Amino acid sequence: MRALPVIGLAALVVLAGCTSPKTTLLTLDASPPPADAVHADYRGLPIAVPAVHLPVALDRAEFVHQESAGEVKVDDFARWTAPLGLLARDALVRDLTARLPAGAVLPPGTVGAAGKARTLDVTILAFQAGPAGATMQVAYRVVPGGAVQQLSLATPGAGAAPVPTAQAFGALIGELADRIAADMAGR
């Protein structure tokens, strides 16, 4: 009968050693604007950003990065706190709000009356991060009246780890906001 408690204790010790890795939760932070990216003179209609569209391979709960040509790696222990498209939209709204005058950017979910707001349609075409840095190809259009603008953005030294990649993604969204704010100020 004394063997049973010893076996039970041994089983507990073995199970204690079988803990899974800690999950890292990722988000996108707003990027403070450089002084020349603030356009307080914008007087156009308010801007609504209903969504930021992403490639399907990136728009998932788990962190994904390109391992090599034709191969992606999914990290089951690094997850986005919300769908990446929503995180990108919210970061872009915060970044644009810091770059344009008060009231120029509508909060997410706000619908402007027809003719009383412009809509910013944003699609991230590609995003890659590695030791040399991160790159993003993006297209955007201001509706009504705007032509499609395509940009290639880059930031140095991101690495492929989840946290530096999320930071680089956020920095590139900030750079996108710089470009959009400058474009809007010219209208």
Give the Cα separation of 160 and 64 in Å (integer).
Answer: 10
pLDDT in tens, 62-110: 888 777 777 778 888 999 999 999 999 999 999 999 999 998 999 988 7
Strand residue runs (E) in the chain: 24-26, 47-48, 52-53, 62-68, 71-80, 118-130, 133-143, 149-156
Give me the pLDDT at residue 112, please.
57
The residue with greater pLDDT, 68 or 7, is: 68
Q: What is the pTM of this model?
A: 0.84
Pick the CATH number of 24-185 from 3.30.70.2860, 3.10.20.340, 3.20.10.10, 3.40.50.10610: 3.40.50.10610
* Residues found in the chain: 187
Smallest Cα–Cα separation from 91: which of 56, 123, 128, 52? 52
DSSP 36: G
Give me the pLDDT at residue 12, please.
47
The residue with greater pLDDT, 119 or 9, is: 119
pLDDT in tens, 11-56: 544 555 566 678 889 999 999 988 887 888 888 889 999 999 999 8
Q: Which of 36-40, 166-170, 171-175 has the lowest mean pLDDT?
A: 36-40
Q: Where are the domains of the chain?
A: 24-185
pLDDT band at 8 (very low <50, low <70, confident <90, very high): low
Give me the pLDDT at residue 48, please.
92
Kindly tell me if the per-residue pLDDT of 114 is higher than 60: no
Q: Token pair of 49, please?
A: 């950003």
CA distances from 178 to 29, 50, 167 (A): 15, 19, 17
